Amino acid sequence: MSGTSLSAGNLGADIGGTFTDVVLEIGGERFSAKVLTTYDAPERAIIEGMRRVCSKAGVTPAAIGRIIHGTTLATNALIERRGARTALITTQGFRDVIEMRTESRFEQYDLNLTLPLPLLPRNRRYTLRERVGANGRTLIPLARADVEALAGEIAQARYESVAVGLIHSYLDPTHERLVRDVLLERMPGLAVSISSEVSPQMREYERFNTVVANAYVKPMMKRYLASLAAKLRDEGADCPIFLMHSGGGIMSLDGAAEFPVRLVESGPAGGAIYAADVAARFGLDRVLSFDMGGTTAKICLIKNQTPKTSRVFEVARSYRFKKGSGMPISIPVIDMVEIGAGGGSLAQVDSMRQIRVGPQSAGSEPGPACYGCGGLRPAVTDADLLLGKIDAAGFAGGSMALDIAASRQAVGAAIGDRLGMDDETAAFGIVEVVDENMANAARVHAVENGEDLSGYTMIAFGGAAPLHAGRLCEKLGIERLLVPPGAGVGSAIGFLRAPFSFEATRSVYMRLQDFDVATVRDLLAELESEATSFVRSCDAQAPLGVQTRVYMRYVGQGWEIPIDVTTVAPAIEAYRGLFEAEYAKLFSRTVQGLDIEITVWAVNASTAKAVAAKAEALGALTPLTTTAQREVFDPALGAPVTAGVFQRAQLAVGRVAAGPCVIVEDETTIVVPAGSSATCRSDGCIEIVRHGSKPAPQAVAAEMAEA
């Protein structure tokens, strides 16, 4: 796609908290490598990974035509407060917006609650006398001399980066631009971010916080990206480099250096794109992607092969992943819920004799008790081991022997002894609680989006997901589960499937009764030109798709619903009709007699999505049997059952393995519950279908015939 020659390879590189994943697709084949992340110089792990995949593929870096990169570096800098020396300039009277937050407590019953500190302390927040009103008119003009005086103070304090956030600047950016111009005249090397460019949306706390976050990580990300580009060139990979952004598209290196806050959570966004690509192969319109690693689980809704997006999310939650305990960032993002539930999540018993799991994690050091590295508290992985879901001898392809006695000891001491349960029941309790936590998060996320999960298909990836996905499907009433190949490096593969895209947004309130066609045309044209010029800076030729959405609600409501108006010309009746149809779909009925308003206008420009090769329909299915068996606990029965053990390679296309069974591969194990069957599809995905009491092969054949 997009201008590169067909023979050239595409390289995806994802820097995560523990591993840097690199994937090379070339000549119809895929090669991957996992390298430990090198915190002091993150580009080193990418270079190392690139060498490895090139060597596996038998090519030199010169064969790479395009590199797409995603990273948690910006996120980590925000979480760990390792950003630049940064100042905020804001409107007089509003110095403390980022500190006062929503003036509420995110945990109601903790008398010793500690609020997260703002990114910038009060002494680094400066004000100017100026004011724009809610109608966009200037109430107090900004005097250039005031800005010049302030520029002197900024220079004296030797800031590397400045964020400018003024009240109602999303309506009129003139004052913010003047501040930038004066600062740059005085200090040409200064990094300046203005809120009307970084996040032109109403709500001062979110907008100011977003521009501060951008300014805070900008110098560091700029240096890193420049160094990465130079090192890749030195290695011979002299090709364009692009960045995955939080919204699920890719942007240019220069764009990323200017708006690095858009890189936050780009890794998980890649995972969602990966799941969307799998969804496209199977023509699935309603998918729940489930990514479970060592510390957290991420859940995302994918409708019509497009991940659900949102305009605001929270980074760096400081209190048990609790909503409200982090910093709001308002940029276009793939909307997912992240909870503290992973293989390393620790279990304990609380004062109500309830088993609690997470969000504290054993991490990689000391790790779960079974790693034998000094961990004494039981983690989810220990419980999985005791229940037979993981084979102590076959973990990580047999490269790491697990100590089941240590798991038994930890689970017994922390849970079983306290609740008078045997070890197996205690382990069952741990796994049920973590599965229920994830199921609850998925349910709440679905309801927040007006979705009902029955009828959805789950796509599971990440090291721990295949162990838990089957049970999660049972809890959510989901009948069909896909576990794609290469699930361990899913995000990096996802990067290679992402289009070039950019979403331009504006907060402009308009009631339908005041709808002015000319104003709307101008606004949409302006947004379209902003979005397309951004994408054109990445790819000058590829055909572009433009999608226009307006966020609408009844006047007086607080929640908007996005309405796709791409195919209609701006007109009151057309907009109203689309809104009412969507509203009725979500909430059963429309509200009579109320005016409707538009709050946010969004235009997304994007190159075409990579076209996924469709998975072939299944032919005749023949049962696969095995003599290898082990005891695996069945949570639905509440008792152990004898399960067949298969290697993933054994499961050729067209063979079907009846549950209960486990399918073992190097990176993970897929647990297939009783009453379900697994088969391999033409693209390598393992598909698991629930069919209740019907005989397995017939039921599977019937249900899979539609795919």
Partner 1 sequence: MTTLSTVSLQVMWNRLISIVEEQAQALIRTAFSTSVREAGDLSAGVYNRAGLMLAQAVTGTPGHVNAMADAVAHFIREIGPENIFDGDIYITNDPWMGTGHLHDITVVTPSFHRGAHVGFFACTAHVVDVGGRGFGADANSVYEEGLYIPIMKFADRGKVDQPFIRLVRGNIREPDQVVGDIFALATCNDVGHRRLVGMLEEFALDGLEQIGDFILENSRRATLEAIAALNPGEAQGSLLSDGFATPIELRVRVTIAADEIRVDFAGSSGVDPKGINCPMVYSKAYACYALKCAIAPEIPNNAASLAPFVITAPENTIVNALHPAPVALRHVVGHLIPDTVYDALDKLLPGTVPAEGAGPLCNFQASIRPASDAARLAGARRAEVLMFNCGGSGARPGLDGMNTTAFPSGVMTMPIEATEHAGPIIIWRKELRPDSGGVGRFRGGLGQFMEVGAVDGHIFDISAMFDRVKHAPRGRLGGGDGASTEIRLDDGAAMAGKGRQAVPEGRRVMLSLPGGAGYGPAAGRDRADVLRDLALGYISADAASAAYGITEAEIAAVEVALRRGELPSNG
Angle at 74 between CA 54 and CA 1, to 5 degrees: 45
CA distance linking residue 462 with residue 438, whole number of Å: 14
Residue 447 sits in the site that holds partner 1 (CB under 8 A): yes
Residue keyed to tokens 């995972």:
271
Give all strands (DSSP E) within 53-110, no chain letters: 64-71, 86-91
Buried b (16+ CB within 10 A) or exposed e, 668-687: bbbbbbbbbbbbbbebebbb
- Write down the least CB distance from residue 509 to partner 1, Å: 6
State which of positions 373-432 bind partner 1 (CB under 8 A). 419, 421, 425, 428-429, 432
Tokens coding 699: 């039921």
Quick one: which H or E segment has residue 211?
A: helix 204-234
- Nearer to partner 1 by C-beta: 20 or 193? 193
Assess contact for 592 and 519: CB atoms under 8 A. Answer: no
- Write down the least CB distance from residue 115 to partner 1, Å: 6
Assess contact for 71 and 218: CB atoms under 8 A. Answer: no
Transcribe 136-152 into DSSP letters: S-EEEPPPHHHHHHHHH
- Nearer to partner 1 by C-beta: 243 or 414? 414
- Nearer to partner 1 by C-beta: 229 or 510? 510
N-term to C-term CA, the chain: 27
- Write down the least CB distance from residue 215 to partner 1, Å: 14
Looking at 30, 131, 218, 308, which residue binds partner 1 (CB under 8 A)? 131
CA distance linking residue 492 with residue 69, whole number of Å: 8
Tally the C-alpha atoms within 13 A of residue 222's C-alpha that lie toward its C-beta.
19
State which of positions 548-587 bind partner 1 (CB under 8 A). 554, 556-559, 587
- Write down the least CB distance from residue 480 to partner 1, Å: 18
Strands 661-664 and 639-647: parallel
State which of positions 660-699 bind partner 1 (CB under 8 A). none
Query: Strand pairing partners for 67?
Result: 11, 241
- Write down the least CB distance from residue 123 to partner 1, Å: 6
- Write down the least CB distance from residue 382 to partner 1, Å: 17
- Nearer to partner 1 by C-beta: 560 or 666? 560
Nearest to 456 by CA among 474, 480, 423, 492: 480
- If DSSP states are collapsed to H, E and C, what string results for 267-284? HHHHHHHHHHHHHHHCCC
- Nearer to partner 1 by C-beta: 6 or 559? 559
CA distance linking residue 25 with residue 6, whole number of Å: 11
Quick one: which H or E segment has residue 194?
A: strand 191-194
Looking at 3, 58, 133, 695, which residue binds partner 1 (CB under 8 A)? 133
- Nearer to partner 1 by C-beta: 110 or 148? 110
Looking at 5, 7, 351, 567, which residue binds partner 1 (CB under 8 A)? 351
**String marking each residue 81-120 x if it binds partner 1 according to CB under 8 A:** ----x-x----xxxxxx-xx-xxxx--xxxxxxxx-----
| 3-state helix, strand and coil shares in percent for the chain, rounded to the nearest 5 | 35, 25, 35
State which of positions 625-654 bind partner 1 (CB under 8 A). 638
Q: What does the DSSP 8-state code read for residue 317? A: -
- Write down the least CB distance from residue 55 to partner 1, Å: 48
Residues 6+ apart with CB under 8 A from 564: 547, 548, 549, 578
Residue 124 sits in the site that holds partner 1 (CB under 8 A): yes
- Nearer to partner 1 by C-beta: 440 or 529? 440
State which of positions 182-221 bind partner 1 (CB under 8 A). 202-205
Segment contacting partner 1 by CB under 8 A, of 172-180, 331-339, 442-450, 693-701: 442-450
- Nearer to partner 1 by C-beta: 94 or 319? 94
- Write down the least CB distance from residue 236 to partner 1, Å: 43
User: What does residue 118 show for φ and ψ, rounded to 5 degrees?
Assistant: -65, 155
- Write down the least CB distance from residue 328 to partner 1, Å: 11
- Nearer to partner 1 by C-beta: 103 or 365? 103
Residue 123 sits in the site that holds partner 1 (CB under 8 A): yes
- Write down the least CB distance from residue 173 to partner 1, Å: 15
Looking at 7, 28, 145, 352, which residue binds partner 1 (CB under 8 A)? 352
Looking at 156, 399, 567, 627, which residue binds partner 1 (CB under 8 A)? 156
Considering only CA atoms, give the Rg of the chain: 26
Assess contact for 63 and 9: CB atoms under 8 A. Answer: yes
Looking at 55, 60, 304, 440, which residue binds partner 1 (CB under 8 A)? 440
Which residue type sits at 353? R
Segment contacting partner 1 by CB under 8 A, of 50-58, 131-139, 524-532, 542-550: 131-139
CA distance linking residue 229 with residue 231, whole number of Å: 6
- Nearer to partner 1 by C-beta: 97 or 198? 97
Tokens coding 294: 């060592």
Residue 153 sits in the site that holds partner 1 (CB under 8 A): yes
Looking at 116, 409, 509, 512, which residue binds partner 1 (CB under 8 A)? 509
- Nearer to partner 1 by C-beta: 525 or 584? 584
Tokens coding 232: 């890749």
**String marking each residue 468-487 x if it binds partner 1 according to CB under 8 A:** -------x-x----------
CA 363 to chain centre: 20
Give all strands (DSSP E) within 340-471, no chain letters: 345-349, 355-361, 457-461
Looking at 355, 481, 671, 672, which residue binds partner 1 (CB under 8 A)? 355
Residues 6+ apart with CB under 8 A from 652: 680
**String marking each residue 277-316 x if it binds partner 1 according to CB under 8 A:** ----------------------------------------
- Write down the least CB distance from residue 589 to partner 1, Å: 8
Count of residues engaged in binding partner 1, rule: CB under 8 A: 76
Segment contacting partner 1 by CB under 8 A, of 153-161, 222-230, 564-572, 611-619: 153-161
